[in-house]
């Protein structure tokens, strides 16, 4: 286990849940689909409407279009998080324990990347796939795995990385020093890549093509929540957040000794996500276009949002259900 070493940081004042981020219960009207386990953390939807997700026990589950009885099609042997459609009959999965995987719908599991420069990936988290087959994905932390995600957030050491796995199998590190690197998504023209830094409350943008190719800047800063998985659809960037920000967590930011003390507490006494579902959406200029919340806690610990036609499929890190919200 890494020796905990809190890094000072001064979070900006959190936006209140009013105005454009006004608290609401819109998501409370979502349908809840039961899964055969817990924690459908991310969601992928094929062109024909088939839905895929991964569960705490390592299962990869398929729902038929429109819902119905789910079927387990594969087991990763780890904890699947990000899930993407890679082509007909194939998925790409970020497994927090096993790395980047390719999975067929007939149950075959192959490793695409689990080490870089001789060092094992600690926390493969989320991915997106370009039309040329390049897979962009995040490794949340070089120091802590999924089971210690609170420790990584408390330490704020910023060891998250962004990778590209090229079609020839080469693994390239595109960015280091990210604060809890999380969701990734390509824009509609694949000219830029969005990256969530959960520990910094922001979404970054890496330009891949055009006059700005290679530039890395902040797309949306000082969010009122902990951004998690990202997806892009109909010129909208969907941002799921498992919890709004917490005043006590921000107050500890400039106090490394206090964070070191809190880190030594039993897990049950450490900060936890609030049961307040939140999904935001931004246009390509960074303007907020959707503010979907559930302050009642019925839809909670929301970690993914994927649009298909007029529905939004919403994942969760811990719950035994997948939420389905009608956008019409």
CATH code, 250: 2.120.10.30
- What pLDDT score does 88 carry? 81
Q: What's the mean pLDDT in 296-312? A: 97
Query: E strand or H helix at 304, and its extent?
Result: strand 302-308
CA–CA dist 233, 39 (Å, integer):
23
Domain membership flag for residue 282: yes
Closest by CA position to 51, among listed 328, 318, 327, 304: 304
At 268 the pLDDT is 93
Which of 2-6, 187-191, 261-265 shows the lowest per-residue confidence on average (mean pLDDT)?
2-6
Say what the pLDDT of residue 328 is: 81
pLDDT computed for residue 87 by the predictor: 84
In a domain, 215, yes or no: yes
CA distances, 258 to each of 225, 252, 253 (Å) = 22, 6, 9
Find tokens 């009013």 and name the residue. Answer: 18
Q: Taking the CA atoms of 51, 52, 57 and 59 in sequence, report the sign of the dihedral they define.
A: positive
Is it the case that residue 1 has pLDDT exceeding 90? no
For residue 47, pLDDT over 90 is answered with: yes
Say how far apart CA 116 and CA 289 lie, in whole Å: 38
- For residue 277, tell me if it sits in a domain: yes
| Total number of domains constituting the chain | 1
Mean per-residue pLDDT, 144-157: 97
Is 212 a member of any domain?
Answer: yes
Per-residue pLDDT averaged across 2-8, rounded?
91
Q: Is residue 13 part of a domain?
A: no
The per-residue pLDDT for range 69-107, each reduced to its tens digit, is: 999 999 999 999 999 999 888 999 999 999 999 999 899
pTM assigned to the model: 0.97
Query: Is the residue at 208 inside a domain?
Result: yes
pLDDT score of 308: 97
Q: What percent of the chain has pLDDT over 90?
A: 97
Return the closest-CA partner of residue 20 out of 245, 311, 204, 224.
224
Under 8 Å between Cβ of 229 and 42: yes
- pLDDT band of 2, cuts 50, 70, 90: confident
Give a yes or no: residue 21 inside a domain: no
Neighbours of 108 (CB within 10 A): 11
Domain for residue 155, yes or no? yes
Give the range of the structural domain holding residue 187, as residue numbers without chain letter: 26-326
49-58, 84-93, 195-204, 298-307: lowest mean pLDDT where?
84-93
Mean of all residue pLDDT scores within the chain:
97
């Amino acid at each position: 286990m890494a020796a905990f070493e809190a890094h000072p940081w001064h979070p900006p004042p959190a936006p209140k849940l009013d105005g454009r981020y006004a608290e609401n219960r819109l998501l409370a009207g979502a349908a809840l689909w039961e899964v055969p386990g817990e924690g459908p953390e991310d969601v992928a939807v094929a062109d024909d409407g088939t839905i895929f997700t991964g569960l705490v026990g390592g299962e990869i589950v398929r729902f038929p279009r429109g819902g119905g009885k789910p079927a387990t099609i594969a087991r990763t042997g780890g904890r699947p998080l990000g899930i993407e459609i890679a082509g007909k009959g194939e998925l790409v999965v970020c497994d927090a324990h096993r790395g980047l995987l390719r999975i067929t719908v007939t149950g075959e599991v192959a490793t695409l990347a689990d080490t870089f420069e001789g060092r094992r990936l600690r926390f493969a988290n989320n991915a997106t796939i370009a039309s040329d087959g390049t897979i962009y994905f995040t490794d949340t932390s070089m120091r802590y795995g999924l089971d210690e995600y609170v420790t990584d957030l408390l330490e704020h050491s910023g060891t998250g990385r962004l990778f590209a796995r090229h079609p020839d199998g080469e693994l390239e590190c595109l960015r280091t020093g990210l604060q809890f690197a999380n969701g990734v998504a390509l824009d509609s023209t694949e000219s830029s890549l969005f990256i969530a830094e959960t520990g910094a409350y922001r979404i970054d943008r890496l330009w891949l093509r055009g006059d700005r190719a290679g530039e890395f800047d902040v797309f949306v800063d000082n969010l009122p929540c902990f951004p998690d998985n990202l997806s892009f659809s109909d010129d909208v960037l969907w941002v799921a957040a498992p919890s709004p920000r917490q005043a006590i967590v921000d107050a500890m930011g400039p106090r490394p000794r206090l964070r070191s003390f809190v880190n030594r507490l039993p897990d049950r006494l450490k900060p936890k996500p609030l049961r307040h579902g939140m999904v935001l959406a931004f246009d390509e200029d960074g303007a907020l276009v959707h503010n979907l919340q559930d302050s009642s806690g019925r839809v909670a610990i929301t970690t993914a949002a994927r649009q298909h036609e007029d529905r939004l499929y919403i994942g969760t890190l811990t719950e035994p259900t997948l939420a389905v919200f009608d956008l019409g």
